[in-house]
A = this chain, B = another copy of it.
């Protein structure tokens, strides 16, 4: 039997043992909620003390135009090789801002907790968030906690919103894309999606090397900005994967693209999971991969900058004139395959 913490309420476990859990009273606005937030949540998130006594955080001086983004996270399972819902929430928001050309500075954290959630799980998730934010030099400045009764949520959901400062003189966007632009992929694809599905299906694969690619990508943006690369477009390759990102970018820009399968790196383990389950790795979610779109004559400079930031960039394709949204994959065998948005759902609750 694990000892309850000061703020926990002891809940029975199926085996007859007990553990400290979230209860509805933790969300009621009273003493227990204050103790949960001040004594448990805030220190793990490394929240500034001011965040506890005012309804909104005053931000420091701003030195550049700002960008703003939000994401909710509902991934199942909450913890997986390479990360957790907490690391996803921090890295995902940093990366959405990076895709808009902005360096994340301030993040908010909204928690929805299900009654019965073990405090041990919540504690690990929050510690991972605090650590991920500190490592990326991002400040968690304001938060909110809600509790819903058992059966009204699946353990916990997290929302993060983020404010970043634009590092690029002109923000990337579909209106800036041009025929001839290079598609520069920052690393191998599909690891996050394959890891989640392997964890869910309890595959008998040797998946010791399979872990989520979850990582913050602000360093890549900073390197490109320092090198003065004129970034035309960027896309964080999360839900829908590489294929969806390229199709959407092309639709929004009124351009076509050709991708080269041989230039799209993939771990052997990811290929194995996809073959076993009939998944297409081009549509698998990534949580630490960016597609950078740059002018042809800046490709080498951009790739060198990305390598300095620890990435292993690969020129995986090119934009060209054509019907907007028409994307062609040249396969390893030299045949051509049209890529489009998925009409159904590949994997739910991947992030």
Interface set of A (CB-CB < 8 Å, partner B): 23-25, 27-34, 50, 53-59, 61-62, 65-74, 76, 95-97, 99-100, 102, 106, 108-112, 141-144, 146-149, 151-154, 157, 159, 161-164, 166, 171-174, 235-236, 238-241, 244, 248, 252, 283, 285, 340-349
CB pair B110–A34 under 8 Å, yes or no, is no
Complexed CA–CA distance, A191 and B351 (Å): 38
CB pair A345–B151 under 8 Å, yes or no, is no
CB pair B72–A68 under 8 Å, yes or no, is no
CB pair B100–A55 under 8 Å, yes or no, is yes
Complexed CA–CA distance, A236 and B55 (Å): 8
Complexed CA–CA distance, A342 and B27 (Å): 12
Complexed CA–CA distance, A112 and B157 (Å): 9
In the assembled complex, how far is the CB of residue A330 from the closest CB belonging to chain B, in whole angstroms? 23
**Which of B54, B62, B76 is A100 in contact with, Cβ under 8 Å?**
B54
Complexed CA–CA distance, A317 and B345 (Å): 57
Count of identical protomers in the assembly: 2
Complexed CA–CA distance, A68 and B343 (Å): 37
Of the listed residues A59, A69, A70, the one surrounded by the most CB atoms of chain B closer than 10 A to its CB is A70
Closest to A157 in B: B112
CB pair B161–A100 under 8 Å, yes or no, is no
Inter-chain contacts of A146 with B (CB < 8 A): 72-74, 349
CB pair A56–B144 under 8 Å, yes or no, is no
CB pair A159–B110 under 8 Å, yes or no, is yes
Closest to A145 in B: B72
Complexed CA–CA distance, A241 and B144 (Å): 16
Closest to A96 in B: B55
Closest to A104 in B: B56
Inter-chain contacts of A349 with B (CB < 8 A): 27, 146, 148-149, 152
In the assembled complex, how far is the CB of residue A115 from the closest CB belonging to chain B, in whole angstroms? 9
Complexed CA–CA distance, A25 and B100 (Å): 26
Inter-chain contacts of A111 with B (CB < 8 A): 72
**Which of B31, B56, B147 is A68 in contact with, Cβ under 8 Å?**
B56
CB pair B239–A164 under 8 Å, yes or no, is no
In the assembled complex, how far is the CB of residue A60 from the closest CB belonging to chain B, in whole angstroms? 8
Q: A74-B112, A74-B146, A240-B29 are in contact. Are A68 and B62 (CB under 8 A)?
A: no
Closest to A25 in B: B345
Inter-chain contacts of A33 with B (CB < 8 A): 239
CB pair A72–B34 under 8 Å, yes or no, is no
CB pair B53–A174 under 8 Å, yes or no, is yes
Inter-chain contacts of A340 with B (CB < 8 A): 31
Inter-chain contacts of A148 with B (CB < 8 A): 74, 154, 348-349
Complexed CA–CA distance, A41 and B345 (Å): 19
